[in-house]
Structure 1
């Protein structure tokens, strides 16, 4: 077993992963934004990126507020992309237009939002395929367990953290992780 494989097997969720080169470049991935425009992850090269699966009828929907605070505080170094998903108890039944309006009116969301996608299963979106498959990201296979699970991609396109739903994006634990990753040299 390689050193990286041994490390990956012992990963504790919500901690920083070692930086490894991914077999598949994160920057080759694309997604449709909430307005239906094609976007490339290449646009975000050189910045840290937080990918979050979202839902507007979830007990954790309040995390939009914390995500927006995080975005406002760290927008020079960090981008956030919300990926709406209806796979967890059908908690995102709305269409893209209604999702965009809800996020703007209820939480003042200014960070990019993607069109609604699947984060697991037969129709998993390529971004989430990369996030959850070690064969793609080079470090860790994981499963999206619920809405508002967070994936941190560093400024060179390496998966660095998987943060579960119960960790608030504006809470002390997450802010410590964010500071460490952003200030890492």
Structure 2
């Protein structure tokens, strides 16, 4: 009887399963749009980035991670943001910088808000559903193949850390 009451209470209070917004389009740094849902069935590491940050060197590790696991399905999505006032003035400059300095060929969005009222809907859903808001550049979010949040990592966690690699390997085909 108590299970029925709990279920009814959940229904009446508008209980919903947690769901991240994987369908909201990001502007692609290459033109057009990207959605996280286009990589359904694949693990995705989403990283808010910046070109003038002490952690910018992590682009090398992110690209190496992408190179190592992309053939097995991993997507690494760089999301440049100026929310911490350390990004270049426009997406074209970011793209050029990343290609020349780090040989980046992973998917990238245009400059995007990741926190606050103007945050991209994906980041708004992370805050709403999981209580996660990037606290600095190079925070990382690992999304599983089914679209669920697997883990979040601080800026200090290096992309090629054993923890990140172990969690990614557990999600690969």
Asked if the contact 1:119–1:125 (Cα under 8 Å) also holds between the matched residues in 2, the reply is yes
Match of 1:167 in 2: 157
Match of 2:61 in 1: 66
Match of 1:119 in 2: 114
Asked if the contact 1:131–1:151 (Cα under 8 Å) also holds between the matched residues in 2, the reply is no
Larger deviation, residues 28-37 vs 144-153: 28-37
- Residue 94 of structure 2 corresponds to residue 99 of structure 1: yes
The 1-side partners of 2:78 and 2:105 are apart by: 10
SS at match of 2:78: strand
- Residue 128 of structure 2 corresponds to residue 133 of structure 1: yes
SS at match of 1:162: strand
Encode CA deviations 1:65-110: one digit per residue, 9 max, x unaligned.
Answer: 000000011102210111111111x110331001001111111111
Task: Give the superposed CA RMSD.
Answer: 1.7
Asked if the contact 1:48–1:152 (Cα under 8 Å) also holds between the matched residues in 2, the reply is yes
Match of 1:182 in 2: 172
Aligned residue pairs, count: 157
Unpaired runs of 5+ residues, structure 1, are: 1-20, 135-139
Match of 2:40 among 22, 45, 49: 45
Asked if the contact 1:48–1:182 (Cα under 8 Å) also holds between the matched residues in 2, the reply is yes
- Alpha-carbon offset, residue 167 of structure 1: 0.5
Unpaired runs of 5+ residues, structure 2, are: 1-15
Asked if the contact 1:30–1:39 (Cα under 8 Å) also holds between the matched residues in 2, the reply is yes
The 2-side partners of 1:60 and 1:66 are apart by: 11
Encode CA deviations 1:117-155: one digit per residue, 9 max, x unaligned.
Answer: 111111111121122221xxxxx2112111000001000
Match of 1:10 in 2: none
The 2-side partners of 1:147 and 1:22 are apart by: 29
The 2-side partners of 1:130 and 1:182 are apart by: 24
Match of 2:73 among 68, 72, 77: 77
Match of 2:146 in 1: 156
Structure ID, larger Rg: 2
Encode CA deviations 1:46-70: one digit per residue, 9 max, x unaligned.
Answer: 1100100000100000000000000
